[in-house]
Amino acid sequence: MIAAQTWASYGKFPPPVAPYTNAPLPTGMAELKIIFPVVGQVDWRDNYNEGRGSFRHTGVDIRARKMTPVVAPFDGVFGKKVNSFWVYGDNGWKCLGTHLNNDSPGTNDNQSDPDYMFSPVLRHGDRVKAGQLVGYVGDSGKATGPHLHFELYSGEGLRNPTKALQGGRKLITPLSEIPRQEDKPDAKQERFEVCKRNWVAETGAFYGVLHAKQFDTGRVLINTVPRFVTFKFSKELINLTDPAAWPNDRSASIYFAREGEEVRIVKVVPPAD
Ligand SMILES: [Zn+2]
């Protein structure tokens, strides 16, 4: 599981904190253009400010199937902790989303691999683009069913996100965000963007999460279901690229050539940092 973070470890981007009180919340509507934070089919209504016993409901609940992709609603700086993400927007707004998935596929075990919760390529403090995949809908915490609990904050504080959600641009798939997008594969080649998860030097076995694919036409396909892949690296390739030194949360570009049934690694570009 993801290690617990201390408040100091959030640096300049700590999570926004909603009032935990029975007093009515600010009634102002968030007035801004966003990308709707959940992709595809959703079900929601304005349930901001509803009473919940000792506190009030500080966001809007967007119901969707478990593992539905969640995207950044605007450009900004990304933050995360277990079950939650937030974005400090370039527009002066902040958002927070929670109850991200923590279950292994097909279970309710609360102990999935973090790759079923967050995009594999995002580190606390990274820049994100509006529409970029950040994580997956789940029912972690005290959620009664799979949904994204979504909050919006102006510079002055919490606002009702309903109007922004109503006007939000709905996506059917996350917008593509890969490094060196222009560095597309040659004819009859494919490019895999893969984040390292394990590396066994003795055997040359490389284990990773496939984040995106790019075809020779330039088209990018963002993977919206975590897919774990294994490759065997040749000695030559290991010497050239030193996979042991690659960070776990940056993707390497692995280019393949297809020749009939054969798939061959033709080039590897190590992660940028
Ligand atoms: Zn909620």
Cα–Cα distance for residue pair 255/264, rounded to 1 Å:
8
Span from the CA of 47 to the centroid of ligand 1 (angstroms): 8
Span from the CA of 58 to the centroid of ligand 1 (angstroms): 7
pLDDT at 2 over 90: no
Domain spans of the chain, in order of start: 1-172, 189-269
Fold of the CATH domain 1-172: Glucose Permease (Domain IIA) (2.70.70)
Cα–Cα distance for residue pair 59/62, rounded to 1 Å:
10
Span from the CA of 56 to the centroid of ligand 1 (angstroms): 10
Span from the CA of 228 to the centroid of ligand 1 (angstroms): 31
**185, 210 in Cβ contact below 8 A?**
no
Q: What is the pLDDT of residue 174?
A: 96
Span 208-213, average pLDDT: 96
Q: Which among 40, 272, 84, 60 is positioned nearest to 160, based on CA atoms? A: 60
pLDDT at 212 over 50: yes
Whole-model pTM? 0.94
Model pLDDT for residues 53-108, shown as the tens digit of each residue: 999 999 999 999 999 999 999 999 999 999 999 999 999 999 999 999 999 999 99
Span from the CA of 149 to the centroid of ligand 1 (angstroms): 4
